A = this chain, B = another copy of it.
Amino acid sequence: MAQKLFLLPGDGIGTEIMAEVEKIIAWLNSQGETEFEIDTGLAGGAAYDAHGVAVTEEDVQKALAADAVIFGAVGGPKWDSVPYEHRPEAALLRLRKELAVFANLRPAICYPALADASALKRELIEGLDILIVRELTGGVYFGEPKEITDLGNGQKRAIDTQVYETYEIDRIARVAFDLARTRGNKVHSADKKNVMKSGVLWDEVVRGVAKDYPDVTFEHILADNCAMQLVRNPRQFDVIVTDNLFGDILSDTAAMLTGSLGMLPSASLGAPDPATGKRKAFYEPVHGSAPDIAGKGIANPIAMIASFAMALRYSFGMVTLADRLENAIAAVLADGLRTGDIAQDNRRTVGTEEMGAAILKR
C-alpha cells in the first residue's frame, strides 16, 4: 500500500533543500524500494502570500491525513510586519498542535569530518552524540491566557502562561527513557524547579517515571546549569528531556556545539494510535530558512535529507534504508564534499544540487 508523504517546503532555502529530498524519493520509488505518494503544500510566508494565512485549513487536513509530514523551514524579513497570528512561525505551531506531535527528538551529533568546525575545542566534542527530547505541544508556547492588554497611560501588560499537566510530562519522560535504552542509558531532566511550579511538577513526574526504568541512570539538572554544562563538557550527556521553551534554547545550544548545525535533523512524534499503532509524525531540519542565502543554490541540504532519513526510520520502519541514507551522508562528507556553511580548506565546496546528487549516488 502506498504511503503518504506531505511535503511543506516553506520559505527561503526550504524549497531548495526539499527539492533534493524529492529527488531521493523519486529515485527510491523508481527502484521499487518504496511506494511513496507525494503531495505538497504551502507553509509560512509562502502560504501567507498566496492565501493570507500561515497555513490553510486544507493543508492542515492533508498533514493530518498523511503518514508523515516533511517540513522545510519558514520565515524571513519579508514577513516581519505580518499580523502576529499570520506570521510564518504560526504554521509550525499550528501544525505541531494539530498533529499533537508532543515528542520532539533533536539529535546533536558531531560528524567526525566536521569536528574542527565547532567553536569548542576538538577534544571536547569529538564523538558527541546527545539526544534532546523536547516537549513540543505544551508549556508557554500554548498556555492561555496569552495576551497583551492595554492599561491606558501608555502602559500595556503582556501575559504568557506556562502550564503542564501530569500526563504531558509523563508521556514525554517515557519517550526519553525508552530512547535512552537504545543509546547511552542515561537521562538528564532539565527544569527550573527552584523558581517554577511547573518545574516542581515536571521533576516530580519525571522522577516517578524514572522508577520504572531502574536500568537507566537518571539525573536532575537545573536548566541554567544544563546550558553551562553543555558548553563545559557536553559529552557528559546522553538524553536530555525538557520542556518546550527550555528545549528550544538547549537544543539550539547543543546543535551549535557540534559545528554541524546545517546537518541536524529533527523528528516530532505523536502518541501511537490505539487502533493502528501508528504515530503522527513531522520531520524538519533544526536550522531555519536562512533568507540571506535563499535562492542561490548554495544551502546545505543535509539536515533536510537526514530528516527524511528519520522519517524512514521512525514512521516507516525502513531501518536499513535509513541507515543507507545516513551512511551516504557520512561518506560524502568523508569524501571531502562541503557546502558553503561547512567549507574547509582542501575540501571541495559544492552547491545544494551537487551535494544532493552526491548523496543520492552513494
Contact = CB atoms under 8 A, between A and B. Distances in A.
Interface in A252-275: 252-253, 255-257, 261
Given A119-B124, A224-B249, A157 B164 contact: yes
Given A223-B249, A252-B224, A148 B232 contact: no
Interface residues of A, number: 58
A158 interface: yes
Contacts of A119: 120-121, 124, 231-233
Interface string A56-99: 00000000000000000001000000001001010001000000
B158 A200 contact: yes
A38 interface: no
Contact of A253 (B140, B161, B194, B253): B253
A245 interface: yes
Contacts of A252: 224-225, 227-228
A175 interface: no
A167 B152 CA distance: 12
A200 B89 CA distance: 14
Interface in A144-200: 146-148, 151, 154-167, 192, 194-198, 200
A160 B249 contact: no
A158 B228 CA distance: 26
Contacts of A164: 157-158
A358 interface: no
A151 B119 CA distance: 47
Contacts of A36: none
A194 B87 contact: yes
A21 to B, nearest CB: 24
A248 interface: yes
Interface of A: 75, 84, 87, 89, 93, 119-121, 124, 140-141, 143, 146-148, 151, 154-167, 192, 194-198, 200-202, 223-225, 227-228, 231-233, 245-246, 248-250, 252-253, 255-257, 261
